[in-house]
Amino acid sequence: MPEKDKTAREPGWLLLIHQIPPKPNYFRVKIWRRLQKLGAVGIKNSVYALPASDQAVEDLNWVLREIVEGGGDASLVEARLVEGLNDEQVKEMFRAARDADYQAIAEEVRQLGRGLPRKGEIPEEKRGEIETAVARLQKRVADVAAIDFFHARSREAVDGLLRELEQKLAVRESQKEAAPAEAIEKPRGATWVTRTGIHVDRMGSAWLIRRFIDPKAKFKFVSSRDYRHQPGELRFDMFDGEFTHQGELCSFEVLLARFEITEAALRPIAEIIHDIDLKDEKYGRPDNAGFEHLINGIAMAHPEDEVRLQRASFVLDDLYEYFKRKRRGAET
């Protein structure tokens, strides 16, 4: 049975409920920016939430004091959701907010990469500018990660893009066309670790691992903040993992490449997972929307990672069979 991270627990919520005078406009914007910096999300009009913690109490009390001193009114309450929004829906609001932050940074990384010379050495002045920009973007990623309370799904994508850019800056000109990494031997009965709250890339990667790489794989779903890597564990689709995003490749695609899995029916599945995970419409497959609805439905209905993987695996088994038979039919 997959192991579940023992440190995970359902949080209570701190709610800042405020009324801010309509004038001056800058004061409302100032408070909004304070809350954004803390990672708070608006769950209702003038109601902002953070997961309950001592640090959040202190941070929101400072905002409350600032609102009151500015002529407004505010209350801070600790609550558990009973009716209306549930915990998972609020968590998804946090993930969506951080995903938007990560995706904005990812687009800046792509634009920076497009500015690199296609051939020849990078002039020292240009190299310095790019290295400064990379450091700035890494700092922004770290700032977003600090308020990424529920593991947004786009962190690995932006990390992969930054790693690729760093590698391009680090290698010498003679190494720029280096051969791809050699395939590695398939493990047997290894412990594979990924972040809790699995979604499309982690669901697909875990299915691929068990079906095509390591049939006796054991899975461990962990909180990135609390996890400490253990010798022999293989990490996928997570920061510093052995098998995670690389440049524009999602983790599913990286696994295919590293283990030299060339099964043709997996190619369309990889394209679907890529488009949903990276949100770049690289392949623009007509299957994307329907599969994304299925994955979102699994995630909404089942908070347990083991159950999500089981149900996603059923879907992927059938999808794989469809593409396999469709290809055979096209060849006959």
Q: How much of the chain, in percent, has pLDDT values that exceed 70?
A: 90
- Our CA angle for 151, 100, 12, nearest 5°, is 40
Mean pLDDT of the chain, nearest integer:
88
CA neighbor of 259 nearest in space, from 296, 211, 194: 211
Q: What is the mean pLDDT of residues 300-310?
A: 94
* Res. 130: pLDDT tops 90: no
State residue 166's pLDDT score: 84
* Res. 125: pLDDT tops 80: no
Q: What is the mean pLDDT of residues 42-55?
A: 93
Domain ranges in the chain? 3-79, 87-175, 191-331
Which segments of 164-250 are extended strands (E)?
A: 191-195, 218-222, 234-235
Buried b (16+ CB within 10 A) or exposed e, 261-292: beeebbebbbbbbbbbbbeeeeeebebbeebb
Number of Cβ atoms within 10 Å of the Cβ of 5: 17
Residue scoring higher pLDDT (201 or 23) = 201
Rg of the chain over all Cα atoms, to the nearest angstrom: 22
Assign 330 a pLDDT band (cuts: 50, 70, 90). low
Q: What is the mean pLDDT of residues 134-141?
A: 93
Q: State pTM to two decimals.
A: 0.70
The CATH architecture annotation of domain 3-79 reads 2-Layer Sandwich (3.30)
Q: What is the mean pLDDT of residues 136-165?
A: 91
Residue scoring higher pLDDT (125 or 176) = 125
State residue 120's pLDDT score: 60
* Res. 297: pLDDT tops 70: yes
Q: What is the mean pLDDT of residues 132-157?
A: 91
* Res. 104: pLDDT tops 90: yes
- Our CA angle for 217, 234, 187, nearest 5°, is 50
Q: What is the mean pLDDT of residues 226-248?
A: 91
Tokens read off for 5: 């991270």
Tokens read off for 77: 């309450």
C-alpha 26: how far from chain center: 33
